[in-house]
């Protein structure tokens, strides 16, 4: 059985290296794509979810990669929140008795502009809510209007509630408890810039050291 952890922040492919450099848990679409490509033919890929969410578009891409396949099983072990909750809807699923699902509206960070821009952003957010609601309606069979109300309330579902409402197919028996930070994306623009700056400075320092060492060799020191 092939296994992949959807753990930590759900992130775009191009920021994966920063999370790896910081040694932070994260999952990007390429992680899923690679796991699907590497598993043996006829083997089931078990997707273990322990994530509070992250990037909407990365979550949509992962959902699409897993959706409708007959060789994928979802297991929610601790938290499937926000974008991770959308991923959990992509295929047949199980949930630990101690796990939860959190469903809420899409949010936008770093927005700026006048009231026209803010009104436009509000419309974009509503459309994104509707796009994500499609994943929940497909899984539960509930009408879009009901799902949007559930999202609007920022709903937290226990394992029993998730199964009863159709968000998950069944409960895991003899599950193992996992923990995870669900309070949002840790990689802010400030941290991103700091990491890139420090990485560049480190590379420049190493390059300068190498120049000095090469110079010492040249003069026989």
The predicted-structure confidence for 38-66, as pLDDT tens digits, reads as follows 999 999 999 999 999 999 999 999 999 99
**205 and 137 in a common domain:** no
Statement to judge: residues 164 and 198 lie in one domain:
no
pLDDT tier at 111 (50, 70, 90 boundaries)? Answer: low
pLDDT digits (tens, 9 = 90+) for 68-97: 999 999 999 999 999 999 999 999 999 999
Report the pLDDT value the prediction gives residue 184, as an integer from 0 to 100.
54
Residue 54 pLDDT: 94
Residues 167 and 204 in one domain: no
Same domain for 209 and 160: no
- Whether the pLDDT of residue 190 is over 70: the answer is yes
Same domain, 200 and 142: no
Across 24-33, 138-147, 184-193, least confident range: 184-193
Q: According to the model, what pLDDT value does residue 180 have?
A: 44
Q: What pTM does this model have?
A: 0.78
Same domain membership, residue 192 and residue 172: no
Residue 144 and residue 196 in one domain = no
CB 52 within 8 A of CB 78: no
Q: Do 156 and 194 share a domain, yes or no?
A: no
**Residue 213 confidence class, pLDDT cut points 50, 70, 90:** low
Domain that holds residue 89: 2-184
* pLDDT in the model for residue 214: 72
Domain count, the chain: 2
Residues 176 and 193 grouped into a single domain: no
Same domain, 22 and 92: yes
113-123 confidence digits (pLDDT tens): 787 777 888 88
Residue 28 is part of a domain; what is its CATH number? 3.90.226.10
Give, in degrees to the nearest 5, the angle at Cα 179 between 178 and 181: 150
Phi-psi region of 152 (alpha: psi -120 to 50; beta: other; left: phi over 0): alpha
- Shared domain for 177 and 192, answered yes or no, is no
**10 bridge partner residues:** 27, 54
């Amino acid at each position: 059985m092939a296994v992949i952890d959807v753990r930590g922040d759900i992130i775009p492919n191009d920021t994966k290296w920063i999370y790896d450099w910081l040694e932070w848990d994260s999952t990007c679409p390429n992680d899923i794509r690679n796991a699907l490509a590497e598993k043996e033919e006829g083997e089931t890929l078990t997707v273990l979810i322990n994530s509070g969410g992250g990037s909407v578009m990365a979550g949509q891409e992962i959902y699409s990669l897993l959706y409708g396949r007959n060789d994928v099983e979802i297991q929610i072990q601790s938290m499937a929140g926000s974008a991770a909750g959308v991923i959990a809807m992509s295929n047949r699923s199980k949930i630990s008795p101690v796990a939860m699902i959190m469903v809420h509206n899409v949010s936008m960070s770093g927005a700026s502009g006048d009231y026209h821009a803010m009104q436009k952003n509000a419309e974009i957010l509503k459309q994104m809510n509707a796009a994500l609601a499609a994943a929940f309606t497909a899984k539960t069979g509930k009408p879009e209007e009901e799902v949007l109300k559930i999202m609007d309330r920022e709903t937290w579902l226990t394992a029993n509630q998730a199964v009863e409402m159709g968000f998950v197919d069944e409960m895991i028996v003899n599950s193992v408890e996992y923990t995870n930070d669900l309070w949002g994306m840790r990689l802010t623009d400030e941290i991103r810039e700091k990491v890139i700056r420090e990485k560049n400075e480190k590379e420049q320092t190493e390059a300068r050291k190498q120049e000095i060492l090469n110079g010492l060799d040249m003069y026989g020191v």
